Amino acid sequence: MAIWALVLLVVLMIPLLAIVIDSEFGRAFARRISRDSSEVEGELDDRITRLEGEVRYLTESLESVRDETGFLRSLLDEESSTSRTLPPAD
């Protein structure tokens, strides 16, 4: 009985394996396996360099927004400290 179950499992696995290998996932996996490690390292170095540039840009943008917020806050504090009365009517 166990032998028949094993045979049935192998028979069912053949078409399933063929479907997976022929799919986009199977092709991508095969490309990844066949790549040279130096090629992968070069791609990773490029990605890291781009990410570092993006982080630098975002940091500068955040500092700019902080400066603008501080300036606006000081303007609002200045305005609130002055009197809020209307000028006399003519």
Q: Over 70: is that where the pLDDT of 82 sits?
A: no
Report, as an integer, the average pLDDT of 83-90.
Answer: 68
Using alpha carbons only, give the angle 5, 8, 14 rounded to the nearest 5 degrees.
Answer: 140
Q: What is the pTM of this model?
A: 0.46
Give 38-76 pLDDT, tens digit per residue. Answer: 676 778 888 999 999 999 999 999 999 999 999 999 988
For residues 47 and 53, is the Cβ–Cβ distance under 8 A?
no
35 in helix, strand or coil?
coil
How high is the mean pLDDT of the chain?
84
Taking the domains of the chain in order of start, what are their residue ranges? Answer: 1-33, 35-78
